[in-house]
Amino acid sequence: MPEVYPIIVPQIDWRVLIDMITYASGQSPTKILDNNNETPDNYPALLKILPNHNNRHLTFSFLVVEIRESWLEKIAHLTRLHVVIGHNYGVLTGHLEAWKQSVIRVSELEIEPEILRVFNRCQLYLEQVKLDGLWKDYRKKTVDEGIFILESRYDYFGSTAGRKT
């Protein structure tokens, strides 16, 4: 069974970021956070202070071990992630928007449970670091022990009929 490990995650130097943006622009980038009594100490806060709240500013990489090369090739073909394929391992890399779309995409497909499990583990890590808002329009539906898919919160019938092969 594939195992997933976060290996490259952004580290934010808040002091430099805030001081230099304030110096360059003449205004504090944390104003939006201050108005909501939020502190600049997590990824969602960074996205709020950057122009356009762009999900392309943060990139994450996950090492996946004990995975078939054919599954990695499938992931590379079906998603917008960068995939490095090694012997019995791979590295999946993408910015937040690519991760968001990739997790949603594999939830829509009839796909190997092991691939779903890989994406579930990546999603759970991103949620753990407070990026669960990426999938705020979706709910988790358990499809097997330890495996879930995402369904639109706006699908009032709870159907998985939209899953594609």
Q: Which of 144, 130, 60 is nearest to 102 (CA)?
A: 60
Q: Which CATH code fits 3-8+58-152?
A: 3.30.70.3180
Domain assignments of the chain as residue spans, ordered by start: 3-8+58-152, 14-53
In tens digits, what is the pLDDT along the chain, a chain of 165 residues?
899 999 999 999 999 999 999 999 999 999 889 998 989 999 999 988 887 767 778 999 999 999 999 999 999 999 999 999 999 999 999 999 999 999 999 999 999 999 999 999 999 999 999 999 999 999 999 998 889 999 998 865 555 544 554
φ, ψ dihedrals at 25, nearest 5°:
-100, -15
What's the confidence (pLDDT) of residue 150? 95
- Helix/strand/coil for 144: strand
Q: Is the full-model pTM beyond 0.85? A: yes
What's the confidence (pLDDT) of residue 165? 44
φ, ψ dihedrals at 112, nearest 5°:
-55, 135
Structure tokens at 165: 């092969």
Q: Supply the DSSP symbol for 28.
A: -
What's the confidence (pLDDT) of residue 161? 47
For Cα atoms 109, 149, 111, give the angle at the middle one, nearest 5 degrees. 30
